[in-house]
Chains A and B, each alone.
Chain A
Amino acid sequence: MATEILMPALSPTMEEGTLAKWLVKEGDTVSSGDIMAEIETDKATMEFEAVDEGTIGKILIEAGTEGVKVNTPIAVLLEEGESEDDIESAKSEAASAPVAADKEQSSETAPAESKTHPEPETDTSPDWPEGTTLKQQTVREALRDGMAEEMRRDETVFIMGEEVAEYQGAYKITQGMLDEFGAKRVIDTPITEHGFAGIGVGAAFGGLKPIVEFMTFNFAMQAIDHIINSAAKTLYMSGGQMGAPMVFRGPNGAAARVGAQHSQDYAAWYMQIPGLKVAMPYAASDYKGLMKTAIRDPNPVIFLENEILYGRSFDVPELDDYTVPFGKARIWREGDDVTIVSFGIGMTYALEAADKLAEDDIKAEVIDLRTLRPMDTGAILKSVKKTNRLVTVEEGWPQGSVGNYISSVVMQEAFDYLDAPVICCTGKDVPMPYAANLEKHALVTTQEVIEAVKTVTYR
């Protein structure tokens, strides 16, 4: 049957073009791949090739015609054995393809779920049963114990990174792990973040559960393409067929006097990515419990640690298998006058400020988010509905901060409950300086948190 040859779309954005030149004439035979015409698009002049074999029966659009819409018949192709009489019967292959109309309809009727923040039932159960024996443990030890317990439990879990094995960890997080698990499962990599992050993601595709340690998250910027494009998006791009169950972990944010390139807080960056989960714990029990949850999670998890917290000791429950769920905030201190929300090392300023505010009889409720994605916004809203005032605290930069997101959620969901604008206490909008006095000032300070609370409580 004779076929109409249609004006092709030759770029993702082309809607019409100029039929610059015909390279065939009526009566010519063509086979697949032969160039039939030159077409000018919005971008360039392109060659248009034949797909089917046949004879050019009729040219419908003359060379030099401008503004030919995509899918307009431009010629008729006759099959073997057909003649001019068959031209009239030509049928366009596009007849059954009303694509553009469908597309518009889709975007107009897209659900609006992304615009709302449904208030989840917030889980306020205690993290461990009453009467559980507690021991003092550093964040460093708790983190190692959490990983080691999971490696004993699951053969497919392994850890790779710079200096994790023989050196025993650049920050001694993996101390003793090479001895217990051997070189097959505790793997020193070369200094090659982009490459080993990619190999880690591939190993997760292949059925393993990698823990990829970055000596610090500053170096993960070299690997961020694999974290986001390869790890976070594959489940979606594959229609649910495969993903990257793994943990990317390491110290994040400022340490002390290490300068601009080694002092960045990435909480707000990773928190933005669908497909990732993000934990940023403060206390040792949460480092342990969340790490165990992260390793078991079937998704890529960003685990943001803090070098200054590594050596701090906290109560850790002596339980055989202690885990902490994602998306459950921890209320460190209850109060009625103001809500202070923080996470990670920001909690040190929040708790210190709350202590000092108590001396002035201002009772602050202090919430530790523990995970930023999923985020327990329910706990924040519940608290704000009680205190009517909110201050957020983090070390990261102010523009596009975690606090900015929280304040937008609170404004949309609890606007009528607010008695003062939300204040986001953040690090200053500068690269980290080296000088001790400047560095201290570049970070958020306890005094700033106290002042913010006094502002929102009009004291």
Chain B
Amino acid sequence: MAAKKPSDKAAPSNVSAEELKAYYRDMLLIRRFEEKAGQLYGMGLIGGFCHLYIGQEAVVVGLEATAKDGDSRITTYRDHGHMLACGMDPNGVMAELTGREDGYSKGKGGSMHMFSKEKKFYGGHGIVGANVPLGAGIAFADKYKGNDNVTFTYFGDGAANQGQVYETFNMSALWKLPVIFVIENNQYAMGTSQQRSTSSAEIWERGKAFGIPGEAVDGMDVLAVKSAGETAVKHCREGKGPYILEIKTYRYRGHSMSDPAKYRTREEVQKMRDERDPIEAVRNMLLTGKHASEDDLKAIDKEIKAVVNDSAEFAKDSPEPSLDELWTDIYATEIPQEA
């Protein structure tokens, strides 16, 4: 098939080999995990909706590199990558995808609804735009408590046309909430391109109307994402209020598993994969800069493949939830303690 033509960009001198390798590993884990999820879907082991993150890996990996303990994150239904990047267990995520009792939500949430109190991952939300005020609310709680935590609130270019996003921009700016609005602009709101759905070419500029600073970021370059993330995090931690990062990325796979892909050409997707792939770019930096050998990278590939295969086995072996689970977790009897 088409040969890969990775760019030959060298790593900046302030980035260590270890750091680059960590990004490579984290992005590769997401990609291989998602490929495996797609495969399990094809086999009927995963049902319903399943939205894969392939192509967008640099966004979440670059931003997680700027987070500290105590920070929160919340996202939409394209959420597997965010969970892996914040350190959630691939076994628990895959077992939730297969609807089994060892999944993060005991099989009751599915692909779109997973949470981790421990990792401060607040979901996994299926209503486009709804997670945006929720994220600002988590930031509100941090400000109320007087700590310097920030909340990464991820949403897509499609959600950026929901009214509640702008209601949230207004209140976040008014109340100086420590929230980073991360617009993962993968150019298509389901099957409708940005040009056909969005009046602004630069979505982050909509923040200007509310006095919220922001910037556009190359989302296929993990180092660029990290660098912009550092600016945003610093702004929020200093109590200056919200910040917008519009991260231009690209989704290689369909919107969900049943996407006929008629709204874009195969060539467009292939060109992105060949020329802009975020994982290939880091791989090249590692090789060009002699930070790693082909064998080193093969070892990482093998290690990741094993983690992902194990998660698939775990997710197949884990039993379906007991029928008693139908009736649990509807009402809490006590307030869950803060992690």
Contacts and interface: CB of A to CB of B under 8 A. Distances in A.
B197 to A, nearest CB: 20
Interface string B79-90: 000000000000
A190 B168 CA distance: 10
B108 interface: yes
B260 A46 contact: yes
Interface stretch (B13-21, B139-147, B219-227, B243-251): B139-147
Contacts of A102: 320
Interface in A25-84: 28-35, 41, 43-47, 49, 51, 70-71
Contact of A106 (B142, B323, B333): B323
Contacts of B139: 202, 206
Interface residues of B, number: 81
B8 interface: no
B257 A35 contact: no
B261 A47 contact: yes
Interface in B63-120: 72, 74, 103-109, 113-117
A184 to B, nearest CB: 7
B71 to A, nearest CB: 12
A208 B323 CA distance: 33
A96 B334 contact: no
Contacts of B42: 6, 8-10, 70
A31 B327 CA distance: 45
B156 interface: no
B133 A235 contact: no
Contacts of B36: 51
Contact of A206 (B35, B126, B137, B257): B137
A198 B35 CA distance: 34
Contacts of A431: none
B332 A12 contact: no
A202 B170 CA distance: 16
Given A49-B38, A207-B141, A192 B43 contact: no
A225 interface: yes
Contacts of B127: 225, 229-230
A227 to B, nearest CB: 11
B291 to A, nearest CB: 24
A435 interface: no
B213 interface: no
Contact of A189 (B39, B113, B126, B171): B171
Contact of A198 (B41, B103, B137): B137
Nearest to A191: B167
Interface stretch (B44-52, B181-189, B199-207, B232-240): B44-52
B62 interface: no
Interface hub of A8, A43, A198 (most chain B Cβ within 10 A):
A198
B316 A43 contact: no
A236 B335 contact: no
Contacts of B167: 190, 192, 194-196
Contact of B328 (A41, A204, A240): A240
Contacts of A274: 330
A10 to B, nearest CB: 6
A199 B133 contact: yes
B281 interface: no
A455 interface: no
A275 B328 CA distance: 11
A199 to B, nearest CB: 4
Given A33-B273, A242-B336, A198 B133 contact: yes
State which size class the interface on A falls in: 35 or more
Contacts of A241: 104-105, 115-117, 336
B44 A9 contact: yes
A32 B33 CA distance: 12
Contacts of B241: none
A234 B123 contact: yes
Interface hub of A28, A35, A156, A241 (most chain B Cβ within 10 A):
A241
A94 B43 contact: yes
Interface string A163-200: 00000000000000000000010000110101111111
Interface hub of B35, B117, B124, B144 (most chain A Cβ within 10 A):
B144
Contacts of B74: 202
A202 B135 contact: yes
A74 to B, nearest CB: 11
Contact of B164 (A100, A111, A195, A206): A195
Contacts of B152: none
A189 B177 CA distance: 14
A106 B107 CA distance: 13
Nearest to B98: A99
Nearest to B110: A237
B105 A239 contact: yes
B136 A202 contact: yes
Contacts of B136: 198-199, 202
A243 B336 contact: yes
Interface in B139-165: 139-142, 144-145, 163-164
B109 A238 contact: yes
B41 A45 contact: no
B195 interface: no
A421 B329 CA distance: 37
A226 interface: yes
B108 A239 contact: yes
Nearest to A30: B1
A298 interface: yes
B54 to A, nearest CB: 8
A9 B43 contact: yes
A124 interface: no
A205 to B, nearest CB: 5
Interface string A84-101: 000000000110110110
Contacts of A99: 44-45
A275 B134 contact: no
Contacts of B253: 49
A18 B86 CA distance: 40
Interface in A87-134: 93-94, 96-97, 99-100, 102, 106, 109-111, 113
Contacts of B116: 241
Contacts of A387: none
9 contacts: A8-B39, A8-B43, A10-B42, A192-B171, A195-B167, A195-B168, A205-B138, A242-B117, A242-B122
9 A-B pairs with the lowest CB-CB distances in the bound complex, closest first: A202-B137, A198-B133, A206-B141, A195-B167, A8-B42, A44-B260, A11-B258, A238-B115, A239-B105
Given A12-B257, A237-B109, 12 more contacts: A9-B44, A47-B261, A93-B43, A110-B326, A190-B174, A201-B134, A202-B74, A203-B138, A203-B141, A204-B137, A230-B125, A238-B115
